[in-house]
Amino acid sequence: MSASHSGFQLAKALDAAADAIKARLYRDWDSLSPVQRKALEDAFWDTMGNAMRIRTASVDALLIEARTSLEAVEDVTRRAAALMATLDDIRKAIKVATALFGLAASVAAAVAAPNPAAVVGALKALKKVVDAAEA
């Protein structure tokens, strides 16, 4: 199992644990002292924060597994966003928007079921469309 997949699974488990803490807080709200409420609230937010940090690290691991970098993704995404504002040809703008969506969908799907190859393919597709539109 890849590091990114393990990280995403752990983050999902921590999200579920945080939800359980929140449910307990709301269920027992009236019977809890202010100190007990704060303890459960702090535990909820700390658990959610840690899940987010793990998820962020897992995205980094996914990009490493995909043999690409966050900088490469950011660069082509920035270029695509700039093109959306400047392209006169609506067909090219739609191609860029569709490729942007493809990259976003691939990364989002990889969070659920890590697939570095899909991310690489979507990144290459977006770069190809952006390069063609910039030409």
- Mean pLDDT taken over the chain: 85
Quick check: 70 and 60 in contact, CB under 8 A? yes
Task: State the pLDDT at residue 18.
Answer: 94
The pLDDT tens digits for 28-68 are 999 999 999 999 999 999 999 989 888 888 877 777 777 77
8-12, 30-34, 131-135: lowest mean pLDDT where? 8-12
- What pLDDT is attached to residue 119? 77
Are the CB atoms for 121 and 106 separated by under 8 Å? yes
Report residue 26's pLDDT band, with 50, 70 and 90 as the boundaries.
very high
d(CA 132, CA 49): 40
Cα 103 from Cα 59, distance rounded (Å): 14
- Digit-coded pLDDT (tens) for 88-104: 888 889 999 989 888 88
Mean pLDDT of 112-128: 78
Percent of the chain with pLDDT over 70: 90
Greater model confidence, 111 or 23 = 23
- The predicted model gives 116-125 an average pLDDT of 80
CA-CA distance, 112 to 62, in Å (whole number)? 12
